[in-house]
Amino acid sequence: MVTWTVEFSAMASPCQVLLCAPSAQAARALAQPAIDEVLRIERTYSRYRADSVVGRINAAAGSGEWIALDAEAAGLLDYAGQLHALSGGLFDITSGVLRRAWDFRQPRVPGEAELAPLLALVGWQRVERRGTDAAVRLPQRGMELDFGGFGKEYAADRAAALLLAQGVRHGYVNLGGDMRVIGPQADGTPWRIGIQDPRDSARTIASIDITEGALATSGDYERYFELDGRRYCHILDPRSGMPVTHWRSVSVLAPLAVAAGSASTIAMLLGGAAPAFLNDSGCAWLAQDGAGRIFDQRVKAS
């Protein structure tokens, strides 16, 4: 069996399915259902599409209209509520409105007067649910939901599940750096995955051997700008509307990509309290702080 890589684009990221198959054609046939599932999830939950579930919820904000949810969408919304509670309110899928004040393509820091009306729209506790048909509505015009904090990782897990259902036992799904490993290489050896240096994309700060499970990294180097010697990244504290600053990156190894990605993002938001949270989670992790120091060696640095 030969290892093949099937590349595609989704969720504004380069993506790939890597698997073992007897031919390129067979690899593509196995990968296609997984790719189709990733694209379905993108269509269904993208905040940029007016016809998506999230798009319809956001468009109806303040109108009083209830938007009915299917079992999948209701489950994802329930998960968002769990993350909000687990993070002490820091993981809040209503905080996407803050991006209206931030454009990381240009070095400009919004002032308090610009952030204040947006912060008034943030608050998971204000999201209204109706139990009879799992419907949801947002009570104030301008409020938004954004599944971007876990949508890509959820898609990676769903893609991996479809590959496993077809009998694929060696390979992984990589959605823009969020990885779900299906099984080891064909000879049984683990995949060696590098963790990018947040300050030098050509280098890694660690390498991790993985045979199954998921690895996700959150960091201040994905979308950012620098101004007056300070870095401003896209991960925003929903209390202040300002970017987090404590960690350069946090990587988490977990059984599922959605768990790894959620934990790494919550850790970025928690700042100095992240190690205790990550240790309590039982996941292996590695983080680099603002001074470049590496924390925790359960994920061995190379």
Distance CA 207, CA 192 (A): 6
176-208 pLDDT, tens digit each: 999 999 999 999 999 999 999 999 999 999 999
25-52 pLDDT, tens digit each: 999 999 999 999 999 999 999 999 999 9
Cα atoms found within 13 Å of the Cα of residue 146, Cβ hemisphere only:
19
Q: Per-residue pLDDT averaged across 145-158, rounded?
A: 97
Q: Per-residue pLDDT averaged across 51-74, rounded?
A: 97
In this predicted structure, what is the pLDDT of residue 299?
Answer: 56
Q: Per-residue pLDDT averaged across 56-79, rounded?
A: 97
The pTM (predicted TM-score) of the whole model is 0.95
Domain with CATH 1.10.3980.10 in the chain: 53-145
CA 124 → CA 81, 91, 138, distances in Å?
8, 9, 10
CA 288 → CA 168, 242, 260, 285, distances in Å?
34, 20, 16, 10
Q: How confident is the model at residue 63 (pLDDT cuts 50, 70, 90)?
A: very high
Domain with CATH 3.10.520.10 in the chain: 1-47+146-180, 190-302
Mean pLDDT of the chain: 95
Distance CA 70, CA 53 (A): 10
Q: Which fold has domain 1-47+146-180?
A: T-fold (3.10.520)
Question: At residue 302, does pLDDT exceed 50?
Answer: no
Q: Per-residue pLDDT averaged across 105-134, rounded?
A: 95
How far is C-alpha 154 from the chain's CA centre? 8
Angle of the 151-165 helix axis to the 257-270 helix axis, nearest 10: 160
Distance CA 258, CA 175 (A): 12
In this predicted structure, what is the pLDDT of residue 99?
Answer: 95
Write b or e for each residue in 112-133: b if 16 or more Cβ atoms lie within 10 A of its Cβ, otherwise e.
eeebeebbebbbbeebeeeeee
Question: At residue 300, does pLDDT exceed 60?
Answer: no
CATH of domain 53-145: 1.10.3980.10
In this predicted structure, what is the pLDDT of residue 298?
Answer: 64
On whether the 190-302 domain is CATH 3.10.520.10, my answer is yes
Are 257 and 283 within 8 A, CB to CB? no
Closest CA to 157 of 270, 299, 261: 261
Question: At residue 124, does pLDDT exceed 50?
Answer: yes
In the DSSP assignment, the letter for residue 65 is: -
